[in-house]
Structure 1
Amino acid sequence: MTPPVAGLAARIVGLCRFRGGPQDLPYRPGLLLALLVGSLAIDLSVAGMLGMGDNALARSLFSTTLLMALCWIALGIRGLRNRYVQTATALVACSMVFSLLIVPIAAAFGPPPGNETAMTSTQTLLAWLGLGVLVWKLAVDGHIVRQAIDAPYWLGLALALAWATVDFALGRVLFAGAT
């Protein structure tokens, strides 16, 4: 028999590999809350490790709240709010996986070069790898959203891209003075 944590981890990895959907995760509000706390811990650890400024907590809370709200709205528009816990669980769990995947890339990249300094060839390669991870994350989020709202993949991907764009744009406005 597979331990519950290993089974959950296998389902999350399956989601990241486009196998299964949010409906394959357990409906457990407590699990969602635990994942939200874990996601916050990862965000704060990564921000501290990479020296990403004093507003890491506010940025993480903002991004997470925005994602949860947009998920709630999308499911509400489709009349499928009963899927919220599993969908939010899938989005947060997969986000944690991608955060952990990007850490070694960001750490190896090092501090960004100044305005007059070009990236090294290693930094260029790492930037492309980071972009690949971002595209993969958006594709997985689109896959999750598509299944949650019973829509074509292009709509799920469009929503995931729109959500990421709103998060980035609002984050830039709200935290413009942050380092």
Structure 2
Amino acid sequence: MSTSVQAALLQVTLDIALMGSVLYWALLLYRRPERFEQTFSALTGSGTLITLLALPLIYWSVHKATLNDMTLPLLLMLGLVIWSIAIIAHIVRHAFDTPLWLGSLYAFVYTIMSWTLTSWFTTPQTG
């Protein structure tokens, strides 16, 4: 198995573990643990669909785009990230019965936590 495939599998595994554990403990804190399965399924399903939409853009930006031609794939990726945060916010706000702004804050914080955690474990070390 190539290192890029191993890194991708590690990222997915870390993201699912982080999502599941944060969601479980947050739902316990909000006294709604019975919503875990439905919320976790919604988050993983929507995350899978967003990832499938991102794959052609990632391929385009890595293999096809020149330095001068990176604007469109990067803008489209930014749009997908914003859309992903909006989807997470919508799901989380219903799971926790909170206002949309609070769901958006939770979604944004979770996204930053996920990126940080996966970059710690999957960024190649130099030196």
Q: Classify the TM-score, shorter chain.
A: 0.7 to 0.9
2: CA distance between counterparts of 1:177 and 1:105? 23
Gaps of at least 5 residues in structure 1 are 1-47
- Segments of 5+ residues of structure 2 without an aligned counterpart are none
The aligned length equals 124
Cα RMSD of the aligned pairs, angstroms, is: 2.1
Is 1:71 matched with 2:23?
yes
CA change 1:112–1:172 in 2 (3 A) is farther
1:138 corresponds in structure 2 to 85
Q: Distance in 2 between matches of 1:112 and 1:81?
A: 46
Query: CA-to-partner distance for each residue in 1:69-97, whole Å, 9 max, x for gaps?
Result: 11112211110000000000000000011
2:101 aligned partner: 154
User: Offset at 1:112?
Assistant: 9.2
Relative to structure 1, the CA distance from residue 161 to residue 152 in structure 2 (aligned partners, 3 Å threshold; closer, same or farther) is: same
Question: Residues 177, 109 of structure 1: CA spacing in aligned structure 2 closer, same or farther, 3 A cutoff?
Answer: closer
Identity %: 26
Q: Answer 1 or 2: which has greater helix percent.
A: 2
Residue 55 of structure 1 deviates from its aligned partner by 2.2
State the TM-score, normalizing by the size of structure 1: 0.63
* Greater Cα radius of gyration, structure 1 or 2: 1
- Of 48, 67, 72, 1:119 maps to 67
The answer to whether structure 1 residue 54 and structure 2 residue 6 are counterparts is yes
- Amino acid in structure 2 at the alignment position of 1:166: M
The alignment's TM-score, normalised by the length of structure 2, stands at 0.87
Letter in structure 2 aligned against 1:78: Y
1:165 partner letter: I
Q: What CA distance in whole angstroms lies between the structure 1 residues aligned with 2:11 and 2:56?
A: 21
Q: Deviations over 1:126-174 (max 9, x none)?
A: 1000100110000000000000000001111111111111111122222
Structure 1 CA distance, aligned partners of 2:101 and 2:90? Answer: 9
Query: Structure 1 residues 107 and 140, CA, compared in 2 at 3 Å: closer, same or farther?
Result: same
CA deviation after TM superposition for structure 1 residue 119, in Å: 2.3
Choose which of 37, 41, 44 in structure 2 pairs with 1:85: 37
Aligned AA for 1:120?
N
